[in-house]
Amino acid sequence: MEDIKYSTIKTFGPSIFKAEMPKDLVTKLNQYVDTILKNKEKSSELNHGLQLAGDVTQEFKLEMEFIKKSGWGEFLMKSTDRWIHIELNKRISKFALINSWIVRQFENEYNPTHIHGGHISGAGFLKVPKSLGDFKQNKVGKDYSGGKLQLIHGSRMFMSQSVFEITPKVGDFYFFPHYLMHAVFPFKNSEEERRSISFNARIDENIYDVYGV
């Protein structure tokens, strides 16, 4: 697997870790998804929509065999270890992947504010529409939020923002603590797919539990 570019983001409270997925891994993931979509039985078997918060076209789990063979699990584990080492100067000895899934979002669909399970979660982008739309009114100087991932923590105060908005870009992946609230806004004026990928995992309890002895 080619070298991965990393950066940490800490605009409020919890640390956020950004990693660039290798291009060959993005290709493998998209090819896997496209293959699943051609198989209605397999697509139905892997359906994950009832367990997730979104009002989107389709959400389905990745098969563990594929996660191991494709290098996706390795990417998640190594990135998490790098993040923990940078932030806490510790190394994980455990990375237990709970699940990983695909979200296929189209025009006017969304994911409401929610949190995940486990210890570590994340979201990244496999396909992004060329245009996510724009304001109905001419709002000069204001950023349009359509299709963006919004991370939320605490409340807005002096010198402290409570939200961090991420413009989706193919290959970008963001790691964050499972409890960090997040949402995805609907986009418009496009028939293209916004395809993202997420995961939940557990790490060493003595690293995660900062209140432990």
The total number of residues written for the chain in this structure: 213
Domain 12-205 has CATH 3.30.1360.20: no
| Residue 192, pLDDT above cutoff 80 | yes
33-37, 50-54, 197-201: the lowest-pLDDT one: 50-54
How many CA atoms, within 13 angstroms, populate the side-chain half-sphere of residue 162?
Answer: 7
pLDDT of residue 208: 96
How does strand 95-105 pair with strand 58-61? Answer: antiparallel
Tens-digit pLDDT profile for residues 151-188: 999 888 887 788 999 999 999 999 999 999 999 999 99
Mean pLDDT of 36-64: 89
- Record the pTM: 0.92
What's the burial of 137, exposed, middle or buried (CB within 10 Å: 0-12/13-18/19+)? exposed
Tens-digit pLDDT profile for residues 1-38: 567 888 887 765 789 999 999 999 999 999 999 999 99
Average pLDDT of the chain, as a whole number = 91
